[in-house]
């Protein structure tokens, strides 16, 4: 019974986060692209590393910078795929749950902006001191949720 409640809670959280992202996509498109890029890069690198480890590449668990440079093409492809999949999910939520018409697919310039601004956001969190990065991450998370939910209410 506990597993069922955990599954329902996880699905509910995914739907709420998806609705927040869908509202941000409508209200603040370039902020959405930045968050989309950051999330997709993180998911692409994680999925790529797990896929390479499953396929038997033994050096995936080594030095982070060496692995990122050696298998950069795999991580780039995974990140681009996650950008399109995540955006398709958000468009589906806009059309089905929020009853908005589709606001168009990602074009190449939006894809490039998304990946560049997302990587800049990730680099910011890597290069600032830990306490400042933690405070910035919490402010970004709380600000995104508050803005998305506020936009949902309006």
SS (H, E, C) 39-86: HHHHHHHHHHHHHHHHCCCHHHHCCHHHHHHHCHHHHHHHHHHHHHHH
Q: What is the average per-residue pLDDT within 110-134? A: 84
- Model confidence pTM above 0.85: no
- The full set of domain ranges for the chain reads 29-146
Of the pLDDT bands very low, low, confident and very high (cuts 50, 70, 90), residue 28 is: confident
**CA gap 120, 112 in Å, rounded:** 12
Per the model's pLDDT, the better-predicted residue between 151 and 139 turns out to be 139
* Residues 113, 30 contacting (CB under 8 angstroms): yes
Q: What is the mean pLDDT of the chain?
A: 81
């Amino acid at each position: 019974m506990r597993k069922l409640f955990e599954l329902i809670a996880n699905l509910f959280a995914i739907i709420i986060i998806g609705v927040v992202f869908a509202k941000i996509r409508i209200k603040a498109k370039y902020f959405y692209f930045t968050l989309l890029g950051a999330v997709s890069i993180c998911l692409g690198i994680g999925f790529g590393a797990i896929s390479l480890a499953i396929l038997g590449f033994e050096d995936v668990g080594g030095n982070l910078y060496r692995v990122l440079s050696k298998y950069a093409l795999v991580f780039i492809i995974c990140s681009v795929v996650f950008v399109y999949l995540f955006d398709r999910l958000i468009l589906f939520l806009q059309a089905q749950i929020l009853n908005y018409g589709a606001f168009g697919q990602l074009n190449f310039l939006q894809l490039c902006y998304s990946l560049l601004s997302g990587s800049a956001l990730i680099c910011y969190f890597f290069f600032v001191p830990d306490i400042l990065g933690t405070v910035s991450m919490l402010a970004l998370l709380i600000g995104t949720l508050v803005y998305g939910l506020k936009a949902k209410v309006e």
